[in-house]
Amino acid sequence: MKSIIKKLIQFNMTLSHAFDRMIPEKYRIDGNRYFIERFAPSYIQDNLIVYDIGGGKNPYISQETKHKLKLKIIGLDIDQKELNHAPVGAYDASICADITQFRGKSDADLVICQALLEHVKNVDQAISAIASILKPGGCALIFVPSRNALYARLNLLLPQNFKKKLLYAVYPKTRESQSFPSYYNQCTPCDFRRIAQKYNLSIEKESFHYISSYFSFFFPLYLVWRIWILSFHAVAGEQAAETFSMALRKCP
């Protein structure tokens, strides 16, 4: 039975991917992959002090890059166990703290915050903390799923245990990476712009993306969702983004 279900899911995913090839490329760029492979790398230079916020056991910067560019990397995470399971030597220092309660020393050249802020209840306080970590002229690179995404709205409506069982059944590999509750509080491009201005952060670069894989396991649902995305974007523009990235520069 499990084999039949697995084959059925794979067939639906194949149909979903085939349909995507028919729509414009801008709607097919995976936001998280873009952040990892293109958005963030352009900001990583020699001899930087980098704070990886929420990276835990999976820091963004590899040890090879760390040593090659002579970077000092500080890991900050709410879970000490996550920090303890990071590769040996990945962090030069680690801080176990809630980002919404943390106050920095204005010593960071770069802050990397990837897929974390949707999991905090107060994004305003989190961005305030990020601003306190950055030195004047420093930059924060943030990737976040948007509250306006359909999966985010469903996430907020469905019970946590039910969501986890459904997600793990369809995408078993997410069992370890998707276990934290999501709130999506103020996680929209408009909200981020307003909060950034409040804390003396200028928006240096933005990137908006209109795809996720959550519904690809059932093609009829995926088709309806993709039509919705195209229609929503036509009306609301970048506010319809499923995910987005921002580079926030701390003003001198």
94: CB partners within 8 A, 6+ apart: 74, 75, 76, 77, 83, 86
The neighbour count for residue 251, using CB atoms within 10 Å, is 12
The number of residues in the chain equals: 252
The reply to whether the predicted model has a pTM over 0.75 is yes
For residue 205, the surrounding DSSP H or E stretch is strand 201-209
pLDDT for the residue numbered 165: 57
For residue 213, the surrounding DSSP H or E stretch is none
Quick one: tokens of 79? 């879970």
The average pLDDT across 21-33 equals 95
Are the beta carbons of 238 and 244 closer than 8 angstroms? yes
For residue 180, the surrounding DSSP H or E stretch is none
Average pLDDT over all residues of the chain: 91
pLDDT for the residue numbered 167: 53
**CATH no., domain 2-250:** 3.40.50.150
Exposure of 199 by Cβ count < 10 A (0-12 exposed, 13-18 middle, 19+ buried)? middle
Could you report the per-residue pLDDT of 224-233, keeping only the tens digit for each? 999 999 999 9
For residue 95, the surrounding DSSP H or E stretch is strand 93-96
pLDDT for the residue numbered 164: 55
pLDDT for the residue numbered 78: 96
Could you report the per-residue pLDDT of 7-22, keeping only the tens digit for each? 888 999 999 999 999 9
Indicate the domain borders of the chain.
Answer: 2-250
Could you report the per-residue pLDDT of 151-207, keeping only the tens digit for each? 898 887 766 665 555 555 554 554 455 567 889 999 999 999 999 999 999 999 999
pLDDT for the residue numbered 169: 53
Could you report the per-residue pLDDT of 107-149, keeping only the tens digit for each? 999 999 999 999 999 999 999 999 999 999 999 999 999 999 9
Better-predicted residue by pLDDT, 29 or 156: 29
Judged by phi (left if over 0) then psi (alpha if -120 to 50, else beta), residue 186 lies in: left
SS3 letters across 8-58? HHHHHHHHHHHHHCCCCHHHCCCHHHHHHHHHCHHHCCCCCEEEEECCCCC
65: CB partners within 8 A, 6+ apart: 44, 71
Are the beta carbons of 124 and 197 closer than 8 angstroms? no
Percent helix, strand, coil in the chain, to 5, is 45, 20, 35
pLDDT for the residue numbered 82: 95
pLDDT for the residue numbered 6: 82
Could you report the per-residue pLDDT of 83-106, keeping only the tens digit for each? 999 999 999 999 999 999 999 999
